[in-house]
Amino acid sequence: MRAADVLWVDLENPTPEEETLVFQKFFSIHFLSFEDVTRLRRLPDRPPHLPKVEEFPDYLFVIVNPLLQRFTEGLRDGHDPTLPEGTATTQLSAVLTHSLLLTHHYEPLASVTELRAFLDRHESQASRGPDYLFHLILDGMVDEYVPVLDGIDDRLDEYEAQVFSHPRKELLMNLLGTKRTVTILRKTLVYEREVLARLSRGEFGLIDVRETAYYRNVYDHLIRFTERIETSREMVSDLMQTHLAAASNRLNEIMKVLTMISTTVLPMTLIAGIYGMNMDIPGLRDWWTFPFSLLLMLLTGIAAMAFFWWKRWF
């Protein structure tokens, strides 16, 4: 997309030939930057590159980790805040010059789609420069964390109620999955916060001074979201500890009941064993011997129950 002297080229799931054409012939970048841009294609089983910003003599290179659309859509549909592949983010690489913005990503991104729609309505805004356009992408990307964090908080509230009412193995697995996702989001937010801090300080000449205020606004949002995800991380850790304590307490209660039953029945078993011996016992042939043994077993059971009641073990 071109407006005035500003050109924006967006590569969504490009082929290797398109990547070579854009990043080596149309606008040549350092081979280390090119390796970072193509990381997910070269290493499909590895996580995306962590956010970073690097300044080169003729361009500014930035990597951020937007949320996957299927992850945010899953939360809106009420699914657990976890993904089977264990990640919730993808990679967006950007190259900025005074008149050019190159963006590269393998997954569809809502923030890029929103910027494209915004420029269709307000094409003249592109003349403010690539740094302004990239700020709009970052702003939309950060705003996507709001429903995600709300969904995680709501799900943790549900888990908290279940921990006290009915702790079970499935709940612990859900907590582990949520903790993994929260850890990934926290790490991403921390690194992106550092990137935005550098962009908002006016550290780079390709970021105009008047645009640093917009980058500071995005940075403030990241600060708040980092604090929220930190709170969620502490909460999920506390819930896991509470779940383990509740499960242990429930096991102790079960063992307590079984122990009391065994202790109550043990004297009865002893009496039955004595009278069941294959030898002559005085009074064994009298008519009252059998009722007496039953009464004796009953009295020992009552005595054991009375002892438990006196100890307040019930």
pLDDT in tens, 8-26: 999 999 999 999 999 988 9
Does 86 have pLDDT greater than 70? no
* pLDDT value of position 308: 67
> How do the domains of the chain map onto residue ranges?
2-249, 276-314
pTM: 0.74
Does 4 have pLDDT greater than 60? no
Instruction: Tell me the torsion sign for CA atoms 30, 102, 56, 58.
Output: positive
Q: How far apart are the first and last CA of the chain?
A: 76
Does 101 have pLDDT greater than 70? yes
CA distance 282 to 93: 96
CB-CB contact of 216 with 122 (8 Å): no
**CA-based nearest residue to 307, from 260, 255, 254:** 260
Least reliable range by pLDDT among 101-110, 157-166, 205-214: 157-166
Domain 2-249: CATH class, spelled out:
mainly alpha
CB-CB contact of 29 with 23 (8 Å): yes
Q: How does the average pLDDT of the chain come out, rounded?
A: 82
* pLDDT value of position 39: 92
Per-position DSSP letters for 35-100, written without gaps between them: HHHTHHHH-TTSPPPPPEEEE-SS-EEEEE-PBPHHHHHHHHTT--S--TTS--B--EEEEE-SSE
CB-CB contact of 70 with 207 (8 Å): no
Three-state DSSP class for 201? Answer: coil
The most confident of the ranges 43-47, 138-142, 151-155, 258-262 is 138-142
CB-CB contact of 84 with 67 (8 Å): no
* pLDDT value of position 137: 93
Does 290 have pLDDT greater than 70? no
pLDDT in tens, 110-154: 899 999 898 888 888 888 889 999 999 999 999 888 888 888 888
